[in-house]
Structures are given as C-alpha cells and as structure tokens.
Amino acid sequence: MFNTDQIEKFKTFSTPFYYYDLDLLKKTLETLKASCDKYGFMVHYAVKANANKKILSIISSYGFGADCVSGNEVKRAVECGFDAQKIVFAGVGKSDKEILSALKLGIFCFNSESLQELEVINSLAEKENKIAQVALRLNPGIDAHTNKKINTGLSDSKFGIDFNKLEEIIAFVQGLKNLKLIGLHFHIGSQILDLEPYKLLCERSNELQKKLSNLGLNLEVINLGGGLGIDYYKPEKNSVPDFEKLFDLVHSNLNVKDFQKVHFEFGRSIVGQCGTLVSKVLYTKPGEGVDFAILDAGFTDLIRPALYGAYHKIENITSQALENGVYDVVGPICESTDVFAKARSLKKTKRGDLIAFYSAGAYGEIMVSGYNLRDFPEIYYSEN
C-alpha cells in the first residue's frame, strides 16, 4: 500500500514508528462531515482512540466536538482547538479533580453513569456556582456482537445505568438543583460491523423517549455513542468507513423530535485507517513448522493483538522475494503474549526488512507503554 518513494523514505526513519497518512484522515473527515450534514447529526471524536496533537488539531478544524474520558483528555482537546462547548466528558469513574476542572472549562455535558457521581457533580457545580449539563448513560441491554472484551451494552457490563431504572433516576436527578438533564447516552461496544445492534438501539431509545414524554420531559440530546467498525482485513479497499450507511439506518429507525439532536462518538472509524506501525525485523529463527520473525516492535508499541486477539493486516514492505514463507510474527518483549500473529504468510523475510501493521491509527499509539523500559515509537506524518 506504500509506493517506492515512501518505502525508500521509511528506510531512513528509526524504527519502530507510527506513520500517519494525513490525506486519508482529511478525506475521512470530509466524508464524515458530508454525511453528518445530510441528517444534521453531530459527532464528538472519541479522543481515547488517538490523542496525538497533530491529529486532534486536524479533527477539531473540521468543527467536530470531542468525547473525553479523563480530565487530561479534556485539557488536551481544548489545547488542540476543540471548543469547550463541544466537549462531552464520559467515563465510569471521574475523580472530583477531573469533574472540577471540566466545570471550570465550561464543557458542554457530563455523560454520567451512576447516582453517586451525579450527586458529586451536583455538589461541585454548586460550589462553583454553576449548572452542569448532564446526560445519563444507560445500559440498553443490547449485544453488539463484537469482541467480548470491547462489548459494553449488556447488563453485566460495568458501564451505564440499567435502562429499566430510567424513571427512578430521573426523579433523583430532578432533586439535584445544580444539574440540568439534557440527554440520554448509550454506547454498545466497539468495532461493530453488523449494524443490526444499532437498529435495536434505536428501538430501545424510541421506547425510552416515549417514557420521557409521558413524564413531560423533553431531552434535547440522543447520543448513540461510537463503535462503527473498520475493515482490518482489506484496509486498502475500504479505507474510509461507510458512515452514511449507519446514518441512513439511524435516520430510518430513530424517532427524533424537532428540538432534538442526534450525537455520535466515533473514534476508531475516524482515525483507524490513517495509521500504520512500521517495524524492522531483528532476527528470524526456525520454530515448529513455522519460522519466527522477531521484530523491534512489541506489544508495548501495539497492544491490540496481545490484549484482544485483534487482527491487523501485516506486510513485509521491503522484501523483493517472489515466494512467501509462514511466520509467527513476534516482538522482543519478555512475555509469551508478545505475539502479533501466528502462522502468517509473508514474503520471505530476513533481518533488516520492514514490516507494516496496517489500520493501527486507533488504539495504537495511545496505548503504547514503557514496559521493559522500552523506547517509545517515533511518529512520522505523510507531510514530512
């Protein structure tokens, strides 16, 4: 997927490194913007997927909001040009310090998922002499049919408040004078490719909106969360996700009143395909039935395969060999789980070859760790 000039340039970079294709990022953002405009939907970019400052600044320049899950993400988003009035602050455990700093910055809304937290936000807002806008994160009891480690919408998940308790929670929030309830928030999981669960989510939302109307409540925000998946198998073919397909489905299935706005919080689908991790082969050695390709990148640089058993397309981008070999592609870390792929077919591989891991723009760089006191990967962009 890289041309000869790019590969020649890569040979001069120190490895391992993340490489971001900013043109692809911009193309993705333009497509997303056009799809949002078609239906008047609002997207908050999920900063957790990639908080690289250059990337955040590009995303904010398109007018999108930011979905943050820590006080530092809120600060980073503001620093990179996101309007505080377009920042939502979610997360199952926000500390007092984080809540306070977000209140001071005047963010748009707290997505809250427990009664205790609502009480804390209320009392901190009272001290600050502010009214905090809140949306309730409800657990809709829907299976997103994705990797069970990133599935969040079922009743045994730590996320959200049971949707059956809506009336109870509303009565509770109405007693908290420094809160203004403005919406409902859902997020059923990540890397969702079969859109059927979103249809069920729309139906659940419609049901809950009906209950709200009966209570005489008109909440202006319906936030359906993130989760739209990307094609890890054919990134070259499907480099820009089909936002419009999801939006069409939501438009046809979600009841939205004139005063209401539909929000999404996409992370992976915005940044996933624009990032590649490039690593160098340190050694090869024979194993049982396959050879090992031992790279200078390990799970400290890209943890998704080790943590979730996630698949990334892997390619030897410098080998001139005409034949393929079968490799266990592994890292240098002193842990047996430091394996990127088992029995993967790659062009015949030797020491010094460059190996690309595609679709690494989301939950790649941001999940880098310093385990084994390893260096952090370098970062390069298509423009330099």
Contacts to ligand LLP by CB under 6 A? 46, 48-49, 67, 90, 150, 187, 190-191, 225-228, 265-269, 304, 308, 362-363
Q: How far is the CB of 175 from ligand LLP (least distance, A)?
A: 26
Q: Which is nearer to ligand LLP, 86 or 268 (CB)?
A: 268
147 vs 206, beta carbon nearer ligand LLP: 147
- Which 3 state secondary structure label does DSSP give 64? coil
Taking alpha carbons only, the member of 312, 295, 311 closest to residue 358 is: 312
Helix ranges restricted to H, 272-376: 304-308
Q: In this complex, which beta carbon is closest to ligand LLP, that of residue 213 or of residue 369?
A: 369
Three-state DSSP at 150 gives helix
**Closest to ligand LLP by CB, 49 or 341:** 49
Q: How far is the CB of 222 from ligand LLP (least distance, A)?
A: 14
Q: Is the distance from CB of 23 to CB of 203 less than 8 angstroms?
A: no
Name the residue nearer to ligand LLP (CB basis): 72 or 174. Answer: 72
What Å distances lie between residue 273 and 1, 96, 166, 266, 329, CA to CA?
Answer: 12, 36, 38, 13, 21
Q: Residue with structure tokens 């419609």?
A: 206
Q: Give min distance, CB of 266 to ligand LLP, in A.
A: 5
Between CA 244 and CA 372 the distance in angstroms is: 43
d(CA 200, CA 343): 38
Q: For residue 156, give Cα distances in angstroms to 57, 111, 180, 354.
A: 37, 19, 28, 43
In our burial notation (b when 16+ CB lie closer than 10 A, e otherwise), range 226-256 reads: bbbbbbbeebeeebbbebbebbeebbeebeb
Task: Report the nearest approach of ligand LLP to the CB of residue 102 (Å).
Answer: 16
From CA 168, how far away is CA 170, in angstroms rounded? 5
Q: How far is CA 133 from CA 30, 126, 165, 314, 376, in A?
A: 30, 13, 20, 45, 38
* Cβ atoms of residues 138 and 209 within 8 Å: no
Smallest distance, ligand LLP to C-beta of residue 42, A: 14
Smallest gap, in angstroms, from Cβ of residue 187 to ligand LLP? 4
Name the residue nearer to ligand LLP (CB basis): 115 or 366.
Answer: 366
Name the residue nearer to ligand LLP (CB basis): 58 or 135. Answer: 135
Q: How far is the CB of 332 from ligand LLP (least distance, A)?
A: 21
State the minimum distance, in angstroms, from the CB of residue 327 to ligand LLP.
23
Minimum CB distance to ligand LLP smaller for 67 or for 98:
67
